[in-house]
Structure 1
Amino acid sequence: MRTVVTVGAAVLLALVAACSSGEGRESQPTSQPRMSMPAGAPHTKTTTPTTTTTSPLPTTAPAPGTPMSRVIKWVEAGTPADPSGFHTATREGQSTSLGEDVAFVAPSGTARCATDKNANGQLACLIQADDLPSKPGDVEGQWIPGWVDFAGATVDIGSLHGDPGRFGYGNGAELTEGTSLAFGDYRCRADAAALVCVNYAHQSGVLLNSSGVEPLGCLKPVAPPVGIGRQLSCPPD
């Protein structure tokens, strides 16, 4: 009996020693856990807004050298005129219907224009200006220095004409200052001192005023053919 008691006491002493030395305990963390962003949390990003500035369109007719896109915007910014009011020409009180053709005069009185369905609706203007070509010495016939044919890809200034042609019917209605008129491939806008006409098909234009004819867009001065005072032309495609 004494041997059993001795063994039990020995076992008990061993358990007490193990507990006092830390055996059997869970280890404690030695440092704080690292914090992380919860899944799906929004991220913020600082951005600097960008602004686009566009220079305003001029109040007067665009000068030569103005990019064609801005010339067209200036012409289109005019108050649209009703084309139905420009299909009649009047001469000495007598009015003539022009059918599908149009005719108009600029407010300054320096230009009167008309189209001709027999010339594919091409625009022509008679202008009064300071700088107009003189009659070439090698041609004969009636020279009209202010006759301007604007075909789109070319502009002829000064030519021979035995009759007034489309201008024989008189003048069309006035294209008032600040208004624009669209017809065929053309659109024209008038201001107090000038008339600007553009041709969409060729991205070309002319500025008509008391000084003469100024090219816009792709038009450049070239050597004129026989019978033409001056010619402007777009480079071939």
Structure 2
Amino acid sequence: MRIAVMIAASVLVAGCSQAVGGQARQPEPTPSAPSGTTRTAPSTTATPPPTAAPAARAAIGEVIRWIEAAPAAEPGGFRTVSRDGTSTDLGEGVAFTTPAGTSRCVTNHRAEGALTCLVDLQDPPARPPDAYGEWKGGWVDFPGATLDVGSAHADPGPFSDGFGVELPYNRALTFGDYRCRTDPAGLFCVNYAHQSAARFSDAGIEPFGCLQQVSPPPEIGARFSC
């Protein structure tokens, strides 16, 4: 008889401790934290993107976060260029122009889709004495590992069929290894493969990331390299 009473008591205690719908009927009291101890929930807030365009010599991470903070533009709207009312399809390439018209860019099919831009620079590099052809001080080639400003050309190259449509301010366009965002401060483009970036504006070309100025080849105005 005594054994039966003990078993019944054990079943009653166990029943009171079982959860129903994920909640206990009679929860155990929560132990108090030791005196002088403050309970702090772990922070889950990510680093917010910069609210202003990156300044000169900004860290590449800051530049990338700022570019990526802009809403994405649909790449399909930038697959053509036009000249004198005639449009040409670029296939997988893209072309775009900044709202101010200062920078006109296209993916260069002759250079494995590298970004090439014509920038209306206020103070472009001077023509080197060994450059052959028509000098374009605002011609910028940005394949990622290097950034060349100013070069000579015998023909319009990737711009022979015209220019792309406007990429509105504070929109970002992703293509290949690149993502570009327009802003009144300039056009900012990152090359993810090389963790390099650049700002294109009439005030000049500003490199970011691994790009450092080096001595250019005889036919190039200025070169930055990783």
Is 2:73 aligned against 1:81? yes
TM-score, length of structure 1 as denominator length: 0.77
TM-score, length of structure 2 as denominator length: 0.80
* Contact 1:133/1:229 (<8 A) preserved: yes
Structure 1 residues 51-200: aligned runs within 5 Å: 56-200=48-192
Question: Which residue in the other structure is 2:223 paired with?
Answer: 231
Sequence identity of aligned pairs in percent? 51
SS at match of 2:160: helix
The Cα RMSD (Å) is 2.0
- Report the alpha carbon displacement of residue 186 of structure 1 after superposing the two structures with TM: 0.3
Question: Which residue in the other structure is 2:38 paired with?
Answer: 47
SS at match of 1:71: helix
* Contact 1:100/1:117 (<8 A) preserved: no
Give the counterpart letter for 2:131 in structure 1.
Answer: V
Give the counterpart letter for 1:47 in structure 2.
Answer: T
Supply the distance in 2 between the matched residues of 1:109 and 1:176 (Cα, whole angstroms). Answer: 11
- Report the alpha carbon displacement of residue 185 of structure 1 after superposing the two structures with TM: 0.3
* Contact 2:198/2:207 (<8 A) preserved: yes
Change in 2 beyond 3 A, CA 1:214/1:157: same
Highest CA radius of gyration, 1 or 2? Answer: 1
Supply the distance in 1 between the matched residues of 2:91 and 2:199 (Cα, whole angstroms). Answer: 27
Q: Which runs of 5+ in 1 are unaligned?
A: 1-39
* Contact 1:60/1:191 (<8 A) preserved: no
Give the counterpart letter for 2:154 in structure 1.
Answer: G
- Report the alpha carbon displacement of residue 48 of structure 1 after superposing the two structures with TM: 5.1
Is 2:193 aligned against 1:201? yes
